[in-house]
């Protein structure tokens, strides 16, 4: 285990040769990230191609053992990783934030390592014996986002490595230090060249997506970028797993208890200060309990401290970058001008440093308002009134995205009936955004395709091969 300063120094380029990364809470320098080029990417891919065959030949048991050791290494450096993540991304140490994210990295490594993956006998009738196997793809390219940079990187690399692949990672330009540090720790337990982070710009990402030596791209990010990756990967017929934008709906049925669900509603929407693809981003509440839900949710939100992530008292942090801050501020202001009622927040203090936007609840808003129809990706939740369940379902399904959704009710059977009508990859009951490394996760419609997590996630990082005879 290294100290925080030693860990940061180990991933930093020579002084003055890198790109300075700023803390979104203070504007202060966190450190310098290397500026990798397309030539650096080519070297990483060449090294990955050289390392991959021996790694694949080890078999599942040996690869799993290495991943379990990598999980131990992450836990040994957990506090140093969490501090760096907090400073670079902005999320607080406490709450479902930085320490939580680092802990999730270890958990996902362990589940990827221990999920059974045996050949499947598909026919055995005495005449025909057919088995389905999954072989390594080769080299996988992983392109990650800035909101959960460590955790989502592990979602990509852990199953890829378990299945015998090498991985080249291209992190977000906003949060490269977190990913570089995580890979440095994991690489303590992996062969050289098997896992490489290339901290470059868009040219690096574009080249990774089109490169002939890359057999699969895993991408988490916007739908627009996902579409560009689809196009650039077409000539080499790459396999793709795309977890794209979402605008998740939640439906509160009239039998729900507003007080009982308020805390879970809040965290469903405001986890990571709203900067989560599968966060609750538009809430439909039956007219009978609309006022009560608004009141209870406002009580919970008002009590949540926001500030510098290194302050142990805070559970909400800044938005990670100015561009995202402007998106949230503009959408809330447009809703206000359109006549929506601001229950809480909507009044950022621009005299202080940092991209802090207060937790904001917006009521009495039209369903066609941009704050409802566009993904705000920040701490602003529109609450829309409905009269019938059919109306709520229709509104929830109206958009061209469908990553997640939720139904809130005192009757689980009723909630499941409504859930089955929603067009989303995952529908949660009385919670939202609760991903689990054992449970498949993926989007519907323009929220992407392909599954991650569990045995289905492992299969997605292999090439299916049927042996018939």
Give residue for tokens 């008292």: 313
Catalytic residues, by residue number, are: 243, 277
**CB contact set of 107 (below 8 Å; sequence gap of 6+):** 71, 437
Domains assigned to the chain? 4-244+447-468 (3.40.605.10), 248-436 (3.40.309.10)
d(CA 305, CA 261): 20
Cβ(50)–Cβ(107) under 8 Å? no
pLDDT-based confidence at residue 172 (cuts at 50, 70, 90): very high
The rounded distance, in Å, linking the Cα atoms of 32 and 140 is: 27
Q: How far, in Å, CA of 278 to CA of 443, rounded? A: 10
pLDDT over 90 (residue 366): yes
**Confidence class for position 252, pLDDT limits 50, 70, 90:** very high
Is the pLDDT confidence value at 14 over 90? Answer: no
327-330's contacts with Cβ under 8 Å and 24+ in sequence apart are: 327/376, 327/377, 327/378, 328/274, 328/357, 328/360, 328/376, 328/377, 328/378, 328/379, 328/380, 329/357
CA–centroid distance for 97 within its chain: 12
In this prediction, what percent of the chain has a pLDDT beyond 90?
A: 97
pLDDT beyond 90 at 85: yes
The predicted structure's pLDDT at residue 282 = 98
**Burial (CB count within 10 angstroms: exposed 0-12, middle 13-18, buried 19+), residue 27:** exposed
Q: What pLDDT, in 10s, does the model give residues 90-118?
A: 999 999 999 999 999 999 999 999 999 99
Placement of tokens 């009738």 in the chain: 125
Q: How many CB atoms lie within 10 A of CB 62?
A: 11
* CA separation for the pair 112, 437 (Å, rounded): 8
- pLDDT for 2: 85
Phi, psi of 359 (to 5 degrees): -55, 125
Query: Which whole number is the average pLDDT over 246-272?
Result: 98
Residue 298 has pLDDT above 90, yes or no: yes
288 DSSP assignment? G
Strand blocks (E) in 221-291: 239-243, 248-252, 280-286
Query: For residue 1, what pLDDT is reported?
Result: 75
The DSSP bridge pattern shows strands 404-408 and 426-429 to be: parallel
| Tens digit of each residue's pLDDT (9 = 90 or more) over 384-394 | 999 999 999 99
Taking alpha carbons only, the member of 363, 215, 369 closest to residue 284 is 363
Indicate whether 176 pLDDT > 80.
Answer: yes
CA dihedral 238, 439, 275, 290 (to 10 degrees): 130
Q: How confident is the model at residue 16 (pLDDT cuts 50, 70, 90)?
A: confident
Using one digit for the tens of pLDDT, what is the confidence trace for 437-466?
Answer: 999 999 999 999 999 999 999 999 999 999
Mean of per-residue pLDDT scores for the chain: 97
Interior CA angle at 304 toward 382 and 175, to 5°?
80
- What is the pLDDT, as a whole number, of residue 408? 98
- Local structure of residue 462 (DSSP, 8 states): E
Q: Please give the pLDDT value at position 248.
A: 98
32-52, pLDDT tens digit by residue?
999 999 999 999 999 999 999
Residue whose C-alpha is closest to residue 244's, from 434, 418, 452: 452
């Amino acid at each position: 285990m290294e100290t925080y300063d030693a860990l940061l120094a180990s991933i930093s380029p020579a002084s003055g040769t890198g790109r300075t990364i700023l803390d979104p809470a203070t504007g202060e320098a966190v450190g310098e990230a290397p500026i990798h080029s397309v030539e650096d990417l080519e070297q990483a891919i060449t090294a990955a191609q050289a390392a991959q065959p021996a790694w694949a030949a080890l078999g599942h048991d040996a690869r799993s053992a290495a991943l379990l050791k990598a999980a131990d290494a992450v836990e040994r450096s957990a506090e140093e990783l969490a501090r760096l993540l907090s400073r670079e991304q902005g999320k607080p140490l406490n709450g479902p934030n930085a320490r939580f994210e680092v802990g999730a990295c270890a958990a996902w490594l362990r589940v990827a390592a221990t999920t059974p993956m045996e050949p499947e006998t598909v026919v055995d009738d005495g005449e025909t014996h057919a088995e389905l196997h999954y072989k390594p793809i080769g080299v996988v390219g992983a392109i990650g986002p800035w909101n959960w940079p460590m955790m989502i990187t592990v979602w990509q690399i852990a199953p890829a490595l378990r299945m015998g692949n090498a991985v080249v990672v291209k992190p977000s330009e906003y949060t490269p230090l977190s990913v570089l540090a995580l890979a440095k720790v994991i690489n303590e337990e992996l062969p050289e060249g098997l896992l490489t982070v290339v901290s470059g710009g868009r040219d690096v990402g574009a080249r990774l997506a089109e490169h002939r030596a890359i057999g699969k791209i895993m991408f988490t990010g916007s739908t627009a970028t996902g579409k560009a990756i689809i196009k650039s990967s077409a000539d080499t017929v790459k396999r793709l797993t795309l977890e794209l934008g979402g605008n998740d709906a939640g439906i509160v049925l009239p039998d729900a208890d507003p007080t009982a669900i308020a805390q879970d509603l809040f965290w469903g929407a405001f986890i990571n200060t709203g900067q989560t693809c599968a966060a609750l981003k538009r809430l439909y509440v039956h007219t009978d309990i609309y006022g009560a839900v608004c009141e209870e949710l406002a009580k919970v939100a008002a009590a949540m401290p926001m500030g510098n992530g290194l302050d142990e008292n805070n559970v909400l942090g800044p938005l990670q970058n100015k561009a995202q801050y402007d998106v949230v501020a503009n959408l809330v202001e447009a809703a206000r001008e359109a006549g929506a009622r601001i229950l809480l927040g909507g009044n950022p203090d621009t005299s202080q440093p940092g991209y802090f936007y207060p937790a904001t609840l917006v009521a009495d808003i039209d369903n066609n308002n941009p704050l409802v129809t566009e993904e705000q990706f920040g701490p602003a939740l529109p609450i829309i009134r409905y009269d019938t369940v059919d109306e709520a379902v229709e509104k929830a399904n109206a958009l061209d995205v469908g990553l997640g959704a939720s139904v809130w009710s005192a009757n689980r059977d009723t909630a499941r009936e409504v859930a089955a009508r929603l067009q989303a990859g995952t529908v949660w009951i009385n919670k939202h955004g609760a991903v689990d490394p054992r449970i498949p996760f993926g989007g519907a419609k323009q929220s992407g395709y392909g599954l991650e997590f569990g045995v289905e996630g492992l299969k997605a990082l292999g090439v299916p091969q049927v042996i018939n005879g």
